[in-house]
Amino acid sequence: MDMQTIRTTQGRGRLFESILETVGDTPVIRINNLAPEGVELYVKAEFFNPAASVKDRLALNIIEAAERSGALKPGQTVVEATSGNTGIGLAMVCAQKGYPLVVTMADSFSVERRRLMRMFGAKVILTPRAQKGTGMYKKAVELAEKHGWFLARQFETSANADIHESTTAREIMGDFQGKRLDVVVTGYGTGGTVTGLSRVLRRERPETRIVLSEPANAALVSSGLAQSRGPDNGPTESHPAFEPHPIQGWTPDFIPYVLQEALDNHGYDDLIPVPGPEAVSWAKKLASAEGILTGISGGATFAVAMRLAQEAEAGSVILAMLPDTGERYLSTPLFQDIPEEMDADEMALSQSTPGFQMG
Ligand SMILES: Cc1ncc(COP(=O)(O)O)c(C=O)c1O
């Protein structure tokens, strides 16, 4: 870009009919300062979605698929178990379309998430963290059955991977058209992203390696142990390899049915576990060295992409998914050592001129 002239913009050349039309078409952005010499490293920044996460895509499609099939009636209440981003996405969609929303969520997820959902008008029912993801899931099922509500079923519904096949994957195909793409890195929460991406990439870019990641202390897929499922494909029990981990939005305490398709169909090439502290550390570096503010799962995906980049041959092109914004984590380990008050350097700067000092 020519630094001698001021930047200009033209607008998008269209008017948007509602917030829902702004879902998707997120930018792929080059990493300039952290990428090793000779490797092109990119991130797909899902925080450009209107409610700031990748889950806006699935939320919109769950509701619109149910409207098309007639499973969701006008004005019917929607209910879902969610670690937050799906709930926030659903709350945005339901606010626009006029459906009441009830979310069940373990009380271990960040308080920002609860307040955001309530801001969009949703009701948030907390469940005890000791009962983990399966607890909040079963609570949503109970509520749906008792009250005749529409259960969104993000972990089982085909509407999840379908929207990644028809949007996320198509965007990557379009943005890398005519360009090399060696590796795509993603984690899983429901598995919608990896399953949808692999359907398209396997067919249209078989040379691209798909790398799946999961928390090192909750390596459910790496364990090789199968998930027990009920007749509705939902989990009947917590997976034995699960332990609580700090990568919110990744790896619930069961292997989701949506992910199972990618596991069964060789939808990934490598599985690389990542420890929580490494995820936090890379999310911080992305913010301070690249100006890219993402959540802990974005840091985790990026940590894996950096490991691969460090070993990659010159000219390699690597893409990492960044699922959400870092602003959703102010009360979590991501911001734990980011102070509110001035530190010694800031105090010294304040005192370096005479005016406007704090008492
Ligand atoms: C913060 C965060 N990261 C990653 C993911 C994983 O995405 P997916 O559900 O498509 O596997 C999710 C959603 O579950 C999420 O909320």
User: What atom of ligand 1 comes closest to residue 160's alpha carbon?
Assistant: 10
pLDDT value of residue 357: 94
**pLDDT digits over 307-356, tens only?**
999 999 999 999 999 999 999 999 999 999 999 999 999 999 999 999 99
Same domain, residue pair 63 and 184: no
Are the CB atoms for 200 and 163 separated by under 8 Å?
no
Instruction: Establish if 354 belongs to a structural domain.
Output: no
Residue 241 has pLDDT above 70, yes or no: yes
Distance from chain centroid for Cα 351: 43
User: What atom of ligand 1 comes closest to residue 328's alpha carbon?
Assistant: 1
Residue 255 has pLDDT above 90, yes or no: yes
Higher pLDDT, 218 or 113: 218
Could you tell me the residue range of the domain that residue 96 belongs to? 55-151
Same domain, residue pair 191 and 233: yes
Are the CB atoms for 227 and 201 separated by under 8 Å?
no
Same domain, residue pair 314 and 249: yes
pLDDT value of residue 2: 63
What is d(CA 293, CA 288) in angstroms, rounded to the nearest whole number? 9
Nearest residue by C-alpha to atom 6 in ligand 1: 189
Residue 1 has pLDDT above 70, yes or no: no
What is d(CA 239, CA 59) in angstroms, rounded to the nearest whole number? 26
Catalytic residue, from 53, 110, 198, 297: name it: 297
Q: Is the CB–ligand 1 distance for residue 246 below 6 Å?
A: no
Same domain, residue pair 60 and 42: no
Number of domain units in the chain: 2
Range with lowest mean pLDDT among 121-125, 130-134, 294-298, 339-343: 130-134
Catalytic residue, from 44, 55, 132, 139: name it: 55
Cα(186) to ligand 1 centroid in Å equals: 9
Any idea what DSSP says for residue 41?
E
What is d(CA 245, CA 258) in angstroms, rounded to the nearest whole number? 21
**pLDDT digits over 178-217, tens only?**
999 999 999 999 999 999 999 999 999 999 999 999 999 9
Same domain, residue pair 128 and 271: no
Q: Is the CB–ligand 1 distance for residue 54 below 6 Å?
A: yes
What is d(CA 227, CA 239) in angstroms, rounded to the nearest whole number? 6
> Is 55 a catalytic site residue?
yes
Q: Is the CB–ligand 1 distance for residue 40 below 6 Å?
A: no
The domain spanning residue 77 has which CATH number? 3.40.50.1100
Are the CB atoms for 250 and 299 separated by under 8 Å?
no
Cα(11) to ligand 1 centroid in Å equals: 30
Residue 232 has pLDDT above 80, yes or no: yes
**pLDDT digits over 209-228, tens only?**
999 999 999 999 999 999 99
pLDDT value of residue 84: 84
Give burial (CB, 10 Å; 0-12/13-18/19+) of 192: buried
**Mean pLDDT of the 243-257 span:** 94
Question: Which secondary structure element, helix H or strand E, spans residue 150, and what is its range?
Answer: strand 150-151
Same domain, residue pair 230 and 307: yes
**pLDDT digits over 76-108, tens only?**
999 999 878 999 999 999 999 999 999 999 998
Instruction: Establish if 352 belongs to a structural domain.
Output: no
Cα(295) to ligand 1 centroid in Å equals: 11
Mean pLDDT value across the chain: 96
Same domain, residue pair 117 and 223: no
Same domain, residue pair 136 and 248: no
Same domain, residue pair 100 and 224: no
Same domain, residue pair 179 and 319: yes
Same domain, residue pair 109 and 177: no
Same domain, residue pair 128 and 249: no
Residue 243 has pLDDT above 60, yes or no: yes
Cα(350) to ligand 1 centroid in Å equals: 42
Instruction: Establish if 319 belongs to a structural domain.
Output: yes
**Mean pLDDT of the 48-63 span:** 98
